[in-house]
Amino acid sequence: MASPGKKAFPLRIDPVLWEELQRLAAQDLRSVNAEIEFLLREALARRGIKLNAQRDTPAQEDEQ
């Protein structure tokens, strides 16, 4: 069951990648789902994309 306010979606993933995600998640004491969300946020941050903390949607810096 998805957490309130979060979007659930199916994800097809290579079994080898899944095993690595499980290993990383265990090291960080997270679920695989939380690890994937962490990695996605980290990747967005590296690209300079900031998320709006209230709604977890990309912030619109150039809104007019």
Residue-level pLDDT at 63:
47
Confidence of residue 64 (pLDDT cuts 50, 70, 90): very low
Task: Report the C-alpha gap between 53 and 59 in whole angstroms.
Answer: 9
pLDDT tens readout for residues 24-40? 999 999 999 999 999 99
Residue 40 and residue 30 in contact, taking contact as beta carbons nearer than 8 Å: no
Q: What tokens were used for 21?
A: 């995600």
Instruction: Flag whether 1 is in a domain.
Output: no
Instruction: Flag whether 38 is in a domain.
Output: yes
Instruction: Flag whether 59 is in a domain.
Output: no
Instruction: Flag whether 8 is in a domain.
Output: no
Mean pLDDT of 9-36: 96
Average pLDDT across the chain, whole number: 85
Q: What tokens were used for 27?
A: 């090291």
Instruction: Flag whether 30 is in a domain.
Output: yes
Domain that holds residue 33: 15-53
Task: Report the C-alpha gap between 49 and 43 in whole angstroms.
Answer: 9
Number of structural domains (the chain) is 1
Residue 11 has pLDDT above 60, yes or no: yes
Task: Report the C-alpha gap between 17 and 61 in whole angstroms.
Answer: 34
Instruction: Flag whether 60 is in a domain.
Output: no
